[in-house]
Structure 1
């Protein structure tokens, strides 16, 4: 009888081992694992991640997935640990960004991988069996976005930000003054390695000197130059001394990021970097959008119009009421 029990348990053990090996040897792009964490490829979903706030002390979005960008090698496994008090997902595709709070965008899943809901204290592990840059987000909170960069060990693309000649940028963000030294602008981007066909988010900080105060409601143009030609231009306005733009490059090579005043194009700063040819499969479906068609109404003009309506309309109503009462008397 003991021998029969021993054979039975050996059979069950062999069955599950064969299932596990078959899963690991799968030719699919991804495989899911319910296993212990054997490496340092861990992304933490921080407590309070469901709150779509911006850290104004750092002038950048919060690290909802921490780190926001993680770089691994082919066949490595990434584990997401939910340290929040609410459930989340890890879903491949393009999230809604902070603008989803206004536009109610739910993001665009691309079907490559989806953890489904996992609760507070739980974790999900995904093994990446092919190289590529894979964007993901939380379907419940679409402003939560992250990126997994999966590299072949043979690739020579740097895993750090570089300047226009390929030198490593040690201090990031990088800061430059306008020619009159009245405005300082800082620039960083994520992912830090810029590759073609991948959306890159440029995060900008604005300061006014000599007060060294955050430059609020300042209209600016965000311009990208590549190979001596302007390839992108759009206008925006700073909020609490901060702003961001997202762009996907079609071509590799040296680029210049130019940030200039909408009112005076001679007031500007420039930053140089390099776009690398993407050797990986891209997971994002992103379309560059420019709001130049509305240049007749600058962002600052629109703000003034709104403020004017808010201030003038109540005053007008008060005057009408006073005149009406005077006639009645």
Structure 2
């Protein structure tokens, strides 16, 4: 009679082992692996640039033909001015919306999450070189461009 009991225990032990291994694989691929691969390694100098680059949405920007994003063709440098902030100085809400979807490898999707109300701002940390055209969704004649490049120093 000892033979059926030991094979029964062996079967239960094997099932417990398979369940444990399966749970480990699910945890590793669902939680640990995506978290460890979520963001690329970026140098400290790029993550903490020496200064913030300000782009103003100027008063009267809502009127077609007026200046809108100033500077309109901005140039930022990685490690120096790659943290860019759009400040709405106008009395109308605006957006910063990319012409084409852009996702920075570290910071994710670019574009203001909804409108930027008067007096509010939107900021984005660029960690890669890029040339990006953007506009205001409610006022599509408002257009800007930002070029992010490596420092020459």
Matches of 2:60 and 2:70, distance apart in 1 = 12
Structure 2 residue 75 is matched with structure 1 residue 78: no
Question: 2:5 — aligned with what?
Answer: none
What TM-score, normalized by structure 1, do the two folds share?
A: 0.28
Matches of 2:72 and 2:54, distance apart in 1 = 11
The CA RMSD over aligned residues, in Å, is 2.5
Question: 1:123 — aligned with what?
Answer: 121
Map 1:85-234; keep pairs closer than 5 Å: 85-93=91-99, 109-112=100-103, 113-115=110-112, 116-154=114-152
Q: Which has the higher contact order (CA 8 A, sep 6+)?
A: 2
Deviation at 1:118, TM superposition (A): 1.3
More helix by share: 2
Matches of 1:69 and 1:41, distance apart in 2 = 13
Matches of 1:92 and 1:139, distance apart in 2 = 9
Runs of 4+ deviating beyond 4 Å: none
Deviation at 1:72, TM superposition (A): 1.0
Matches of 1:85 and 1:68, distance apart in 2 = 19
Per-residue CA distance 1:52-81 (angstroms, 9 max, x = gap): 02xxxxxxxx32000001111125100000
Q: Does the 8 Å CA contact 2:85/2:122 hold for their aligned counterparts?
A: yes
Name stretches of at least 5 consecutive residues in structure 1 with no aligned partner.
1-21, 29-37, 54-61, 94-108, 156-329
Matches of 2:131 and 2:58, distance apart in 1 = 23
Structure 2 residue 54 is matched with structure 1 residue 42: yes
Map 1:238-253; keep pairs closer than 5 Å: none
Matches of 2:58 and 2:40, distance apart in 1 = 33
Matches of 2:54 and 2:92, distance apart in 1 = 19
Secondary structure of the corresponding residue to residue 114 of structure 1: coil
Matches of 1:111 and 1:72, distance apart in 2 = 16
What TM-score, normalized by structure 2, do the two folds share?
A: 0.58
Deviation at 1:134, TM superposition (A): 0.8
1:26 to 27, 39, 47: 39
Per-residue CA distance 1:234-273 (angstroms, 9 max, x = gap): xxxxxxxxxxxxxxxxxxxxxxxxxxxxxxxxxxxxxxxx
Q: Does the 8 Å CA contact 2:68/2:143 hold for their aligned counterparts?
A: yes
Deviation at 1:154, TM superposition (A): 4.3
Question: 1:102 — aligned with what?
Answer: none
Name stretches of at least 5 consecutive residues in structure 2 with no aligned partner.
1-34, 42-49, 104-109
